[in-house]
Amino acid sequence: MKKSGNIILGIDPGTIVMGFAVIEVTGNNPTLTTMDVLKLAGKKDIYERLETIHTTVCQIIKEYKPHTFAIEAPFFGKNVQSMLKLGRAQGVAIAAAMQYKLNVTEYSPKKVKQSITGNGNADKEQVWKMLQRILNIQEQPEHFDATDALAVALCHHYQSSSAIGALPKGLKGWEDFIAKNPGRIKI
């Protein structure tokens, strides 16, 4: 019987195109399970788009049974209306994850890029090239929204498995850890 690893669902929210990706981490080895996009441009009504996002995220969760859910935070731009729409899409995707009792973690675009490439200002092509190397992916995606979602999922793996990023359970912060473990400080 194959022991399954940690399954992470990553989402790049959008009201025109939403990217999603699922990775499975066994030991410390991430592998791509699926990555694709949901195209919403054909639906004129924003509420119909939001309902489609919710339904699709629920279907992905039912099919792949992720343990955790990671989503990219909206990038603050100049267009307030676009930000509101993106925030709604993100909220609907998060609500679907919460409906299935998944832990939700949100990452800024800069944090995702930094985690994957080491450069928080990397462009989408640089992020994709690094993802190809890390996960040994050959095929070229049709949409960078899918690769952005993959980057979010992999970022979550890195952040949750990092000795620096993961704080021991029951602690409020690193100051709390130091206060409760003074013998572990070496000067």
What is the rounded CA–CA span in Å between residue 116 and residue 131?
7
Across all residues in the chain, what is the average pLDDT? 88
Which burial class, exposed, middle or buried, applies to 70 when counting CB atoms under 10 A from its CB (0-12, 13-18, 19+)?
buried
Mean of pLDDT values over 63-79: 89
The reported pLDDT for the residue numbered 130 is 95
Q: Which of 12, 24, 36, 148 is catalytic?
A: 12
Mean of pLDDT values over 63-67: 97
Q: Is 72 annotated as a binding residue?
A: yes
- 72 noted as active-site residue: yes
Q: Is 12 annotated as a binding residue?
A: yes
Q: Is 51 annotated as a binding residue?
A: no
Angle between helices 46-64 and 80-99 (to 10 degrees): 30
Contact 183, 59 (CB under 8 A): no
* Band of pLDDT at residue 42, cut at 50, 70 and 90: confident
Let me know how long the chain is. 187
Q: What are phi and psi of 12, to 5 degrees?
A: -110, 100
- 125 noted as active-site residue: no
pLDDT over threshold 50, residue 1: no
Q: Which of 24, 36, 72, 148 is catalytic?
A: 72
Q: Lowest mean pLDDT: which of 84-93, 107-116, 150-159, 162-171?
A: 162-171
Query: Looking at residue 73, what DSSP letter applies?
Result: P
Q: Which of 123, 125, 142, 145 is catalytic?
A: 145
What is the rounded CA–CA span in Å between residue 60 and residue 56?
6
- 145 noted as active-site residue: yes
The reported pLDDT for the residue numbered 60 is 98
